[in-house]
Structure 1
Amino acid sequence: MNILNKTILVTGACGYKGTVLVAKLLKAGYKVIAFDIQWFGNHLKPHDNLTVVKGDVRFPATIPFEGTDAIIHLASIANDPCGDLDPKLTWEVSALATMQLADHAVRNGIKHFIYASSGSVYGVKEEENVTEELTLEPLSEYNKTKMVSERVLLSYSDKMVVQIVRPATVCGLSPRMRLDVAVNMLTMQAIKNGKITVFGGEQSRPNIHIDDITDLYMFFLERPNVTGIFNAGFENITIAEIAEILACKTNAEIITTPSNDPRSYRVNSDKLLATGFKPKKSVEIAIGEVIDAYEKGILVDKEEYYNLNWMQKAIL
């Protein structure tokens, strides 16, 4: 089918990744149904091929499945602290809704389902390189719902194309910005305070630029023959290394304090790279883009860019 005739349903379309992804889908010529509860607002620009539906994924009867060719499922209660705020809500939104979404997709003849899981499903691993073959040992409600959702979706893999992505921590600019993820948060600290507080610093963490993760969803959308589960984290870098990049770019002072979180792991994405996907942007580029946007007044430090605080204040 020609791209111009394809309709993509994106859940969580008004979120950090969704806002960037929807713009790319529209630019590529797809028709997009953007489904989102809009807790953090709607930063999508109007477009002739865009239909925005404000709704809750827990109620599949409100989701417009008819005419949809593929689903990119991004909606969830994002990150560990937010997931722990209301475990019941987290399980309903991030696990039960995924099961219902998959069931309705099959009933409506939708043949392609892309799911945004998380690299955090592995839990704490001793292995230096975390590959897809390792066992899942999720620790938080957020991680557990992702693991359960993966297993549910894989049970439908005989009825539709299922592609599961386990992203590393995402960084970089989005119209619906997040300033509570490591790189973005440290960058804002450096810009506003002239100081960066680093807890420990030697812990290694995998990262991925927001343009690369959204390009990856596009990549899979165009390659239904590539199925299964894929890690997506192309830059394993320590918090201290991120701080050093920031210090060079902003002259911010680095303040190092002991950490009670010694976890250090490096995600291996060789399986994904073997498909032909190539990342284009680095953590350093993300930092530069955030600094530039702030200096130009494009990026402003807002309450709603911090998910936990915003949910506590305005939602729950």
Structure 2
Amino acid sequence: MRVLLTGNQGYLGSVMTPVLQSAGHDVVGLDSGLFAGCVLGPAPMDVPSIDVDLRDVGAQHLTGFDAVIHLAALSNDPLGSLAPEITFDINHRASVRLAQLAKEAGVRRFLYASTCSVYGSAGDALVTEDAPLRPLTPYAESKVRVEEDVLTLADSGFSPVFLRNATAFGFSPRLRADIVLNNLVGIAMLTGTVRVLSDGTPWRPLVHARDIAAAFCAALVAPTGAIHCRAYNVGTEANNVTVAQIAAAAAGAVPQSTVAVTGETGPDPRSYRVDFSAIRNAFDDFTPRWTVADGAAELYENYVRWGLTEELFATRFTRLAHLRTLQTAGVVDASLRFQRVGAGRD
């Protein structure tokens, strides 16, 4: 299958690309390069990639593909809150336009990377895909809007599927340090203490980047009639954990590190546990393999192996800080558009 993978030079895309290739798919990327340089260790081998901002995608970019996997987004709650209009411009409007162009170009399957954070504050009950959507941030709200709008494009020739990923974790050659487990393992390694500023009680569903890749691979080849217009939570109930448990896993992976739950910011309203039975029932060959503890150990091993430093941790691998660096250097403008062609790939 010939697949267009947006965001192929991001955190998830750099993990998903070789998984898709190993499954026999012909993969072409589409990425502006905002995070192409956020590499820890050897640079990954990239597939041919269309160098274009998602907001500038044209019909010519969608021709000849059997499927689109749409990962590209501003994937950060602090950034979304700081610049909500840019978040909606990229994550919502440009994503819906991408789907419209894909349909017009004859692309038959559109796999959209949504998020379990669309459920917002759901308490202790396990939420299924039929639960009310209560997004609490501009990032989550943008994902809900895309699901709603792309659903209206579906017909017999265009089949969208919405994969609501749990919070990702795990090592990627293009690292993110601002997602919870990746962040806490880094803090444990660099400071010796995992500090939890909330009370540690909120629930978070976690899923490894490689398990996300496996889910998209399974959805890519599943019978259309079985998954047409469906939403699937991506993860496993075993990784429904509290923030305090995530902190304990991070400290457990880093020798001589400790946990300090300060509670200074109070309880976090974003708390939800997720039911993942639908995706298991839909895809016989999809079984999440990574536990939180295994992911913490993998992260620590790679942080040590590739020389993670405090400076890299706080700048290159933290999305908001990285984008501010690019803006300060005049590489991107206030709308996060590059000021010169290919600038993000240096």
What's the TM-score once normalised by structure 2's chain length? 0.84
Distance 1:70 1:242 in 2: 35
Residue 241 (str. 1) matches residue 245 (str. 2): yes
Task: Provide the residue aligned with 1:308 in structure 2.
Answer: 320
Tell whether 2:21 aligns with 1:21.
no
Q: Which moved more, 1:50-59 or 1:10-19?
A: 50-59
- In structure 2, the residue matched to 1:265 is 272
What pairs up with 1:1-316 in 2 under 5 angstroms? 6-41=1-36, 45-46=44-45, 50-61=47-58, 64-126=61-123, 128-158=125-155, 159-198=157-196, 199-225=198-224, 226-227=226-227, 228-234=230-236, 235-250=239-254, 251-258=256-263, 259-263=265-269, 264-275=271-282, 276=284, 277-297=286-306, 302=312, 303-315=315-327, 316=334
Matches of 2:253 and 2:80 in 1, distance apart? Answer: 34
Give the secondary-structure state (helix, strand or coil) at the position aligned to 2:259: strand
Secondary structure of the structure 1 residue equivalent to 2:110: strand
Q: CA RMSD in A?
A: 1.8
Distance 1:51 1:120, change over 3 A: same
Change (3 A) 1:148 1:63: farther
Aligned AA (2:184): L
Q: Does structure 2 conserve the Cα–Cα contact (< 8 Å) formed by 1:82 and 1:311?
A: no
Alignment deviations for residues 240-271 of structure 1 (CA, whole Å, 9 cap, x no partner): 22222233332212111114234332111111
When residues 224 and 153 of structure 1 are mapped into structure 2, their CA distance, relative to the original with a 3 A threshold, is: farther
Deviations, residues 194-233 of structure 1 (Å, cap 9, x unaligned) = 1110231222211001110111111111214342001113
Q: Displacement of 1:150 after TM fit?
A: 0.3
Report SS of the residue matched to 2:123: coil
Distance 2:89 2:154 in 1: 22
CA change 1:90–1:121 in 2 (3 A) is same
Give, in whole Å, the separation in 2 of the partners of 1:79 and 1:224: 33
Write the distance in 1 (CA, Å) between the matches of 2:307 and 2:19: 20
Q: What residue ranges of structure 1 are gaps of 5+ in the alignment? A: 1-5
Give distance in 1, aligned partners of 2:202 and 2:191.
23
Q: TM-score, normalised by structure 1?
A: 0.92
Given that 2:123 and 2:273 are in contact with CA atoms closer than 8 Å, whether structure 1 keeps it comes out as no
Instruction: For residue 278 of structure 1, give the secondary structure of its aligned residue in structure 2.
Output: coil
Cα offset, 1:186, TM superposition: 0.4
Q: Residue deviations 1:50-102, cap 9 Å, x none? A: 31121111112276212111000011111211112222211111111111111
Q: What is the CA distance between 1:313 and its match in structure 2?
A: 2.6
Structure with greater contact order relative to length (CA < 8 Å, sep ≥ 6): 2
Per the TM alignment, residue 160 of structure 1 is displaced from its structure 2 partner at its CA by 1.2
The count of aligned residue pairs is: 309
Would the alpha carbon gap of residues 10 and 63 (structure 1) be closer, same or farther in structure 2, given more than 3 Å must change? Answer: farther
Distance 1:124 1:247 in 2: 27
In structure 2, do the counterparts of structure 1 residues 187 and 164 end up closer, same or farther at CA, with 3 Å as the change threshold? Answer: same
